[in-house]
Amino acid sequence: MKHLLLSLLLITPMALADFVVITHPSGPDAMEKDQVRDLYIGRSKQLPNGQSADPIDLESGDALREEFHSGVTGRSQAQLNAFWSKQVFTGKGQPPRTLGSTAAVKAAVASTPGAVGYVTPADVDGSVKVVFTP
């Protein structure tokens, strides 16, 4: 029994790490990690195919959001909060809009040309296009 519990504890963090970056079907065919990062920290406003970008984030405190930002932007939740507070205060930018679930992110991306978001691989269907897998 101890071995099963230990195995589950070791597997669980890997399951939480599973995310893919998605776009509207009219979006680019692929994106590099630095391109995704630049969209989510306001350095870029366009997708690689020239479309105006609409990045969508999950709400603060979501485990997938923390995994995404740790792996892609290299920032913790506290660092993101400080970064966006400064950007907003100085008038240099606004954070991506947030939604409360991966289902909401997928629906918004599927219905919005230029939208980009991240979801679990299990959330992906024909309504969106996977453009980055870590």
Q: What is the pLDDT of residues 38-47, one digit of tens each?
A: 999 999 999 9
Domain over 17-132 is classified CATH 3.30.70.870: no
Give the pLDDT score at 128.
Answer: 97
Which residue ranges of the chain lie beneath pLDDT 70?
Answer: 1-17
How far, in Å, CA of 108 to CA of 23, rounded?
10
Both tokens of 81, joined, read 């909060």
pLDDT (tens digit per residue) in 116-126: 999 999 999 99
**46 in Cβ contact with 37 (< 8 Å):** no
CA angle 3, 70, 106 (to 5 degrees): 95
Which residue's structure tokens are 């680019």? 28
Per the DSSP assignment, residues forming a β-bridge with 56 are 97
Give the pLDDT score at 1.
Answer: 52
